Amino acid sequence: MKRPDWSAGNHLELLENGEEFFPAVFAAIKGAKHEVIIETFILFEDKVGLALREVLIAAAKRGVRVDMTVDGFGSPELSMNFVNGLTDAGVRLHVFDPPPKLSRRLKPFRRLHRKIVVVDGETGFIGGINYSADHLIDFGPEAKQDYAVRVQGPVVAQLRRVTGEILATATPQTRSAGPTAQRRWWRSRAQEPRTSNPSTGSGAATAGQAKAVIVTRDNHRHRDDIERMYRLALHASQHEVIIANAYFFPGFLLLRSMQRAARRGVKVHLILQGQPDIAWARWAAQLVYDRLMRAGVQIHEYCERPIHAKVALVDDHWATVGSSNLDPLSLSLNLEANLIVEDRAFNRALRDKLLPLMKSQCKLLKIEETNAHRWWWRLGMGAFVFHVMRHFPRWLARLPRQAQPVMPVAQTPVVVSASQLPDAEAWQWQGVSLSVTPGASGTSCTSGAACLRKETAE
């Protein structure tokens, strides 16, 4: 891992759930003048996906260059009508590592799990929220609790560079002419020119005072960068650590960092799944509860609905929001991206979101409620399963690697004849607007929900 490329002078807004995230993204796309780039793991053809489709089509029709890359495993089916509406308008719709025709669910590893938006090289979004209706509260008991960040300032150029690396690998049918189109097989990725376009403002001017950096994980030069940033923050912690994560099964080094922080008196709180959307997620996390709690780590299970967050804060200045879970898939296999922030106001904004969850919507576990008292655990079965699962990604990484192409959607099995939700209608997002209250250090929306204001569209 090379030294982080910190950028000062950024303006950050913490966004909670789809009610805040989707209107902010759609409004930014609606105002785009030159370029929109989107990466997402999941794009569903529900009311959120249809609303995104509407704003992308409108942007492309007014001459904005639009590139959207979806993951072939996370977005396995899109109807021909949905896709044709986008591509006919000029949207370049790509699929990362599309599935084989035999089965759309046969390639679950090394996925594009990032969630990034860049508009005109000036405004960016990063977090854990996909384009699906289950990120809206009205979805019901299975609605996900999650976070994202709207970014303005110099760090947006880093976001754009990250997305440009994926687009540079797209097949010639989907990428436009330019420096990346002339790439030759003998040029290493390290020699690849950084994407830049004067019309998109990729050298964004100072917009605030927050210090931030984009940290990625891939299967080449950045295999453990996100995990290392977590470990460095834990090693430097002095008073408090709060980690909220959907899928929690970290490796030995990260577990040890949490244990050591707790043993030297740091208050370490974990907000984890109490009502998981995937059954094995809670079971896997429970395998490490005992060793963490014996070190003094406090574990809070969020029981209101599934938590999909991938956020953390340390003391009163460090924070992260992104796509990376703390499990083997995210830490060892998938392509991930997190925003790391050093800013007191943003740290405070995230704390103001997490503390109410921890205090009133979570159950604080006692060690008697873990597997530590079960006979099969005392016989060593828990330790055996833990070590097998911990080393599984390393074993998998040694298998022969296949190329992971980025292909035009029309050339992949993702396109199906008809939508699974034929009666779905686009979400009327313009009925919800964000009222921004300036905060310290160039950070807006420091009071979280107070920044969301519902209005009737006129």
Could you list the active site residues? Answer: 113, 115, 120, 308, 310, 315
How many other C-beta atoms are found inside a 10 Å radius of the C-beta of residue 116?
Answer: 25
As a residue count, the chain comes to: 458
Burial of 276 (0-12, 13-18, 19+ CB in 10 A): buried
H or E stretch including 12?
strand 7-16
CA distance 341 to 321: 8
Residues pairing with 339 in the sheet: 214, 321
Exposure string for 162-176, b = 16+ CB within 10 A, e = fewer? bbbbbbbbbeeebbe
Query: E strands along 233-286, which residues?
Result: 240-245, 267-273
> At 433, which amino acid appears?
S
> Alpha carbon 32 to chain centroid distance?
22
Are 155 and 9 within 8 A, CB to CB?
A: no
**CA pair distance 5, 63, nearest whole angstrom:** 33
Number of H helices, E strands in the chain: 12, 21
> What one-letter code names the amino acid at 393?
P
Residue 215's nearest CA partner among 201, 202, 231 is 231
- For residue 1, count CB atoms less than 10 angstroms from its CB and return exposed for 0-12, middle for 13-18, buried for 19 or more: middle
CB 166 within 8 A of CB 69: yes
- What is the C-alpha separation between 342 and 422, in angstroms, rounded? 45
Closest by alpha carbon to 39, among 202, 195, 163?
Answer: 163
Contact, 70 vs 94, CB < 8 A? Answer: yes
Any bridge partners for residue 214, and if so which? 339
Q: What single string gives the DSSP state of each residue in 52-117?
A: HHHHHHHHHHTT-EEEEEEETTTS--EEHHHHHHHHHHT-EEEEESPPPTT-TTS--SS-B---EE
